[in-house]
Amino acid sequence: MSDSSHRRAPLTLDFIIVGGGIAGLATAHALCSSGHRVHVYEKERGTSDYSAGVRIPPNGMLVLMKWGVADKIKEKSVKCTSTEFVEMDSGERIGILEWREEVMKELGAPFYLIAHSELHTILRELAISSGAHLHFNTPVASERPSVTLADGQVVYADIIIGADGARSIVRPVVVEDDTPEAPSQMTIYTGTIPIATMETDPDMRSIVHDIGHPHWLGNGCLAMSTYLRSGKEYTASFWTPEPIPKGAPQGWDTPVSSASLKYAKIEPRMAQLLAHMPTLTRVARVEKERAESFIDDTERIVLVGEAAYPKGPCGMPVISAVIEDAAVLGVLLSRLRDHSQIPSLLYGYQDLRQPRLNTILDLEGANHFLLMLPPGQDRDLRNEAWKRWKAAAEARGDAEIEEGELEKQFADVCEVWGYDAIDAAEDWWVHWGMLRERASGLGGGGVLDGTVCVRVEGDL
């Protein structure tokens, strides 16, 4: 199989990417390193000083390793080796999921936890080093069939990528009759705290030295915590079904008092953690359907990341899914040598990504349901099973994992994590792309007969 990381498309296209978050920057790198010219327009900074941690499971790390940034990620992050499940109200430790070295080796990459801002910086530097032109503080105002600069400037491209997140302005151009956003069922508060502060309190010290990465499970709510910044900081995201009051402050740049977060009853370790986080940021988890199509009718506008499948933030698979999108698009478009191939390659992206994302997001939905079960028979059964597996894991120590333990419950997660997006895109090319190219007779027709323009607010 040829090395896609060094393959540059014989035909260079101009791309405009709307949104310079994780999806936008990853896509900019993937397209630039495939030989294309890319401009990214980001309305703000794409990250925030207050933003917290993100998870990079092995399927995301596999791509980042192939992009040559594994060492940078490793330097800034912490390896996740286990996740412990704790009852939010009683503090009872009911289960542990070990991400053991041998399993991670089998999957091909480790599972890292990193600050959003540090991942953003690494991807920004990567995109710039590949030749992308990044324009921050430059919002795009979009309308069909073109998007136009607010100050009157018009920027042209062959293809526009909507990487502008869950409330994308590009998406309505791609998805006609898009279903409106439903009222959010979940608010996520996040906060960080220095590990040195945690060491001063016995309850918090026990989190650091004893538990590590607990998930506190409640009735319809959840708190997930991890180390950050090479283990110097600790972060937690607190999920609550309580909606953000209309007009109240929210967003990654807007800290609010942690008194705004109300849980019915929480155990002392979690209470201490919250008491030492005077402010938190809060965002609503977006309730919007996955896009039916990722490509518009003109086959020139494409969605990636949360613009296509609004589900984040703070979920387990979101960052890796977004990185996979970018990798697949980059590999497929590195094959471009004639304009007539564009629709086929873009639909190749959609054909690969839609079933994959359905699997990832359905699994995440099922996991969240399991983690936030209300009191009752199902929750009792869950806890009993986890306790049995935990006891078995403790008895086993470092010995080989046996069939039927907690890992089995999460077997689907491992299947999702073992996916190599770059290989999948290369396979698609071998099985479908080349065939389609031969069938259509390369060089004939289908040339893009115009350009798409983008309107951007602010100076370029």
In the complex, the residues that contact ligand FAD under the rule CB under 6 A are 18-24, 41-44, 46-48, 51-52, 54, 116, 139-140, 163-165, 169, 190, 252, 305-306, 312-314, 318-319, 322
Q: How far is the CB of 285 from ligand FAD (least distance, A)?
A: 9
Output the smallest distance, CB 235 to ligand FAD, in A.
Answer: 8
Nearest approach, Cβ of 445 to ligand FAD (angstroms)? 34
Residue 292 C-alpha from the chain's centroid: 19
Taking the least distance from each CB to ligand FAD, the nearer of 25 and 65 is 25
DSSP conformation class of 244? P
Task: For the CB of residue 314, give the shortest distance to ligand FAD in the complex, in Å.
Answer: 4
Shortest Å, Cβ 22 to ligand FAD: 4
User: Nearest approach, Cβ of 308 to ligand FAD (angstroms)?
Assistant: 8
Nearer to ligand FAD, 22 or 204 (CB): 22
Distance between CA atoms of residues 97 and 295, nearest Å: 39
CB 292 to ligand FAD: min, Å: 18
- Mapped onto helix, strand or coil, the DSSP state of residue 30 is helix
The pair phi, psi for residue 198, each rounded to 5°, is -65, -30
Decide whether 36 or 455 has the Cβ nearer to ligand FAD.
455
Strands 133-135 and 37-41: parallel
Minimum distance, C-beta of residue 21 to ligand FAD, in the bound complex (Å) = 2
DSSP lists the bridge partners of residue 113 as 55, 78
Rounded to 5°, angle at Cα 192 from 187 and 196:
155
CB-wise, 192 or 260, nearer to ligand FAD?
A: 192
- Per the structure block, which two tokens stand in for 374? 């209300």
User: Phi and psi of 55, rounded to 5°?
Assistant: -100, 135
Of 148 and 272, CB closest to ligand FAD: 148
Q: Nearest distance from residue 175's CB to ligand FAD, in Å? A: 15
173 or 422, CB closer to ligand FAD? Answer: 173
Cα–Cα distance for residue pair 73/228, rounded to 1 Å:
12
Show the 3-state SS of 59-124: HHHHHHHHCCCHHHHHHHCEECCEEEEEECCCCCEEEEEECCHHHHHHHCCCCEEEEHHHHHHHHH
Shortest distance, position 116 Cβ to ligand FAD, whole Å: 4
Counting every residue written for the chain, the total comes to 460
Cβ nearer to ligand FAD, comparing 195 with 401: 195
CA angle 426, 429, 430 (to 5 degrees): 90
Residue bearing tokens 């920004």: 124
HSE-CB at 387 with a 13 A cutoff on CA atoms is 10
User: What is the layout of strands, in order, in the sheet containing 53-56?
Assistant: 53-56, 112-115, 78-79
Least separation, in Å, of the C-beta of 211 and ligand FAD? 21
Q: By C-alpha distance, which of 359, 338, 327, 342 is closest to 427?
A: 327
- Cβ closest to ligand FAD, residue 19 vs residue 57: 19
Nearer to ligand FAD, 23 or 274 (CB): 23
C-alpha distances out from residue 76 to 71, 116, 196, 280, Å: 9, 11, 18, 22
| 3-state secondary structure at position 209 | helix
Which C-beta is closer to ligand FAD: that of 9 or that of 80?
A: 80
- Residue (22 or 175) nearer to ligand FAD, CB: 22
Beta bridge partners of 279: 257
Query: To 10 degrees, what angle do helices 58-66 and 318-333 make?
Result: 40
